[in-house]
Amino acid sequence: MSKEWPLWEIFIRGQHGLSHRHVGSLHAPDAEMAIKNARDVYTRRNEGQSIWVVEAKHISASSPSDKGPLYEPSESKVYRHPTFFDIPEDVGAM
């Protein structure tokens, strides 16, 4: 068994209505302590309303080498962007 505490990824929601954002990672023996550590490490300056912690090993990530197949096909499909509509002026900024 490893003597190192597992790594946790920390997500913090800054305000009501916003989504949780990844702010960094830290080590902790369990989820409860990870939340406490996150409180101490990442919310010292009043940054947070809510904390999520996820053990890093439970996050599945896409591989950088798959960049081509994953993202390139959409590059040539400008029609997927809703930029071909005339927006009436009184709608304002969208």
Partner 1 sequence: MSTLYDFALRMGDNTLILGHRVSEWCGHAPVLEEDIALANTALDLIGQTQLWLGLAAEEEGTGKTADDIAFLRDAWDFRNALLCELPNGDFGRTLMRQYLFDQWHLLMLQELQKSSEKRVSDIADKAIKEVSYHVERSRDTVVGLGDGTAESHKRMQDALDYLYPYVGELFTPDAVDDAATKEGIAPDLASLREAYDAAVAATMAEATLALPESRFGHKGGRNGKMHTEHLGHILTQMQWLQRAYPGATW
Residue nearer to partner 1 on the CB measure, 33 or 56: 33
Query: Per CB under 8 A, does 20 bind partner 1?
Result: no
To partner 1, the closest distance from the beta carbon of 59 in angstroms equals 19
Site string for partner 1, 35-74 (x = CB under 8 A): -xx-xxx--x------------------------------
Contact call for residues 41 and 27 (beta carbons, < 8 A): no
CA gap 91, 88 in Å, rounded: 6
How far is CA 86 from its chain centroid? 33
Helix, strand, coil fractions of the chain, as percent rounded to 5: 35, 20, 45
Residue with tokens 């003597």: 3
Q: Which stretch binds partner 1 (CB under 8 A): 16-24, 27-35, 65-73, 75-83?
A: 27-35
Considering only 18, 21, 22, 27, the residue that binds partner 1 (CB under 8 A) is 27
The DSSP code for 36 is: H
Question: Which residues are at the interface with partner 1 (CB under 8 A)?
Answer: 5, 26-29, 32-33, 36-37, 39-41, 44
